[in-house]
Structure 1
Amino acid sequence: MPVFTALPTDVVTAYRKGGLDAFGNMPERKISDGAANPCRHCLRDIPKGAEMLVLAHKPFVGTHPYAEVGPIFLCAEDCARGGGHILPEVLRTSPDYLIKGYSQDDRIVYGTGVVSPTPELQDRLDAIFANPDVAYIHVRSARNNCYQARVDRDA
């Protein structure tokens, strides 16, 4: 069974302390409007009126042709790291998601990318992991391509 993996706490703590984003900018501080502001650390929607960080994030080590960068939201205050075997809250709020498998060397495994309706997401993840070349999967917004979460094979 796949494991949903949130951004590591040390990465999020660095952003909260003013660490620079993927483009060398300080994270912006905004107030959540309560709609479509998913925190990539707790994997929950940021409540309306709560302060949040908006920044460019690259969920890869190093730079290479497949190392996509995009905007993400984070709770500005401490939150517990989300994840586990159950589909997280932030992956239940959209009608569909873009998912794609990556190899151990962080390259897209061609033929794995699909826009999946949310009710079919778990089955689609399982189908992608049936390919032995897939080391992990990224879940992204189907409309804006924003990184949502990583999915790993159960160890």
Structure 2
Amino acid sequence: MTIRFEAMPTSDAEHLWNGGTDAYGFLPETHISDGPGHPCRHCLGNIDAGESYLILAYRPFPAAQPYAETGPIFLHARPCRRYTAEEIRPPVLETSPDYILRGYGENDRIVYGTGAVTRQESIAAYAADLLARDDIAYVHVRSARNNCYQCRISLG
């Protein structure tokens, strides 16, 4: 079984780079990075010190519904290349010792009992275990400290 780590779709990022509003209908805030701690959800790398970035509310689901979590994320203020090494754990997941992984069904709703704080080195194995189940369509990776969306994992 091959899993892939998926960044924010480029269409979502382009919408924001072109002056679009976030999940709450607001324009993103623009800030200047002071260094580590600002992971871009499109390139899945850190936004370096001195680079401008956007803070916005993001809902990584196709439609609003009770399980469609919305929260703050960072995005380079200027277009960046979408993360493409999908079979390799991205740099954004190297900055914390653990993350929350949670499985979702085809209906984009949480599959209860799947959420777990997972050590960095166990992310791929736990995601593969979840994706082997018939009731799991994809997995979200979120910050274990702040619950912020990091990326999506699906079958490759």
TM category, shorter: over 0.9
Aligned runs of 1:3-22 on 2, under 5 Å? 3-22=4-23
User: What are the Cα deviations for residues 31-64 of structure 1, in whole angstroms up to 9, with x where unaligned?
Assistant: 1121211100001011111000000000112211
Q: What is the root-mean-square deviation in Å for CA atoms of aligned residues?
A: 0.9
Look up the SS of the partner of 1:122 in the other structure.
Answer: helix
Does residue 41 in structure 1 map to residue 22 in structure 2? no
Q: Given residue 34 of structure 2, which amino acid in structure 1 is its aligned partner? A: D
Cα distance in 2 for residues equivalent to 1:3 and 1:103? 17
Look up the SS of the partner of 2:13 in the other structure.
Answer: helix
The share of aligned pairs that are identical, in percent, is 49
Q: Give TM-score scaled by structure 1 length.
A: 0.96
Aligned to 1:24: 25
User: What are the Cα deviations for residues 40-97 of structure 1, in whole angstroms up to 9, with x where unaligned?
Assistant: 0001011111000000000112211101000000011111100410000001111100
Q: Give TM-score scaled by structure 2 length.
A: 0.96
Runs of 4+ in 1 over 2 A off after TM superposition: none
Cα distance in 1 for residues equivalent to 2:65 and 2:10? 24
Cα distance in 2 for residues equivalent to 1:148 and 1:36? 12
Q: Which segment is superposed worse, 122-131 or 111-120?
A: 122-131
Cα displacement (A) at 1:130: 2.1
Question: What are structure 2's unaligned runs of at least 5 residues?
Answer: none
Aligned to 2:81: 80
Question: What are structure 1's unaligned runs of at least 5 residues?
Answer: none
